Amino acid sequence: MSGRCLEIGLLLYPGVQLAAVYGLGDLFTVANDMAASQEREGTDRLRVSHWQIDDAGKVRRVFDSHPQAEGTPQVVILPPCLDASAGYALEMAYCRWLERLHASGVTLASVCAGAFPLAEAGLLEGRSVTTHWALAGELAERYPNVQVLPERMVVDDGDLITAGGLMAWTDLGLALVTRLLGPTIAAETARFLVVDLNRESQRQFSSFVPSFDHGDAAVLNVQQWLQGPAMVEANLAGMAARAGLGERTFLRRFRAATGLKPTEYCQQLRVNRARDLLEHSRQSIEQVAWQVGYQDSGAFRKVFARLVGLSPGDYRRRFGTAAR
């Protein structure tokens, strides 16, 4: 029996770097070959598609590696853009298409200047992102509600993944292979291509990756809200109000959609954010606990150890980069 066909769409907007478009396609082809070599039944594979505005002004597939397959993309990538003359803005048809996809649970990703069109479409408000170091100041100035982390190669913020420089499409590609096909396939793909499978890509796999494609719009609205600053002080009443549901109905639908109770889900998100701070900042563990929503650092340490298997201090000593 064959496994799932997981579609990754590449947006061919004006000025897009074609080397990244075709390079990502080659990377995902190699990943499929590595997965096929496992000789296991039910192995998933990656479907690569290209999307572009047609003469009628609609965004359509213009290339499909598995044209016999059905469904919509799990991920859509905005590759780098080499043409700054347009201000990195997208045509409205592209913006509306991305908004609809994101609202339905599709993960959006960008490389380098590809973060600008996502920001212009209003999809990065309150989120953490990265871009090319030379563009970070401009991105932060133009979109003050976006937290820009130029020192990072890849920032995985759940349903939004951004990568840094022009060649960071390799890092993004491997991160997506890790998420969709698993760390073994990602490691074999990197080895075959003779590129580094950096620690961040492995960390992204082991971190909590929420499901956004369950089809419950009210729950998805809450999930996307929690990916921003609301995560810190979120409570059941606030989440239910955001969903426009009574608390008992919200609890039932949230668990059905995500597989977790809202409190468990928030714990996972907070620990994910704490791991990021422990790796990349020099803040004390107490400060980290407070930033992710725990006023009691003792409670934070217990939750962190239960979900990660290491204490916050041991995790920082093993994976921290800020002091190196």
Domain annotation covers residue 233: yes
CA distances (Å), origin 167, targets 6, 59, 113, 129, 152: 24, 26, 11, 17, 13
Which CATH number does the domain housing residue 287 bear? 1.10.10.60
d(CA 315, CA 301): 11
pLDDT of amino acid 283: 94
Domain annotation covers residue 279: yes
- Split into its structural domains, the chain has a count of 2
Task: Give the confidence band of 285 by pLDDT, cuts at 50, 70, 90.
Answer: very high
Domain annotation covers residue 189: yes
Residue 1 has pLDDT above 80, yes or no: no
Q: Is the same domain home to 182 and 284?
A: no
What's the whole-number mean pLDDT along residues 42-70? 93
Residue 205 has pLDDT above 50, yes or no: no
Task: Give the confidence band of 86 by pLDDT, cuts at 50, 70, 90.
Answer: low
Q: Is the same domain home to 248 and 183?
A: no
pLDDT of amino acid 39: 67
Domain that holds residue 311: 217-319
Instruction: List residues bridging with 156 in a β-sheet.
Output: 161
The alpha-helical segments, DSSP class H, found in 136-216 are 136-142, 169-181, 183-193, 199-206
Long-range contacts of 281-290 (CB under 8 A, 24+ apart): 281/322, 282/322, 282/323, 285/312, 285/313, 285/316, 288/312
Task: Give the confidence band of 323 by pLDDT, cuts at 50, 70, 90.
Answer: low
For 11-67, give the DSSP string.
Answer: E--TTB-HHHHHHHHHHHHHHHHHHHTT--TT--EEEEEEEEE-TTS-EEEEEESST
Q: Is the same domain home to 200 and 241?
A: no
Look at 269 and 150; give whichever has higher pLDDT. 269
Q: What is the DSSP letter of 237?
A: H
What is the rounded average pLDDT for all residues in the chain? Answer: 90
Domain annotation covers residue 251: yes
Owner of token pair 């991160």: 175
Which CATH number does the domain housing residue 114 bear? 3.40.50.880
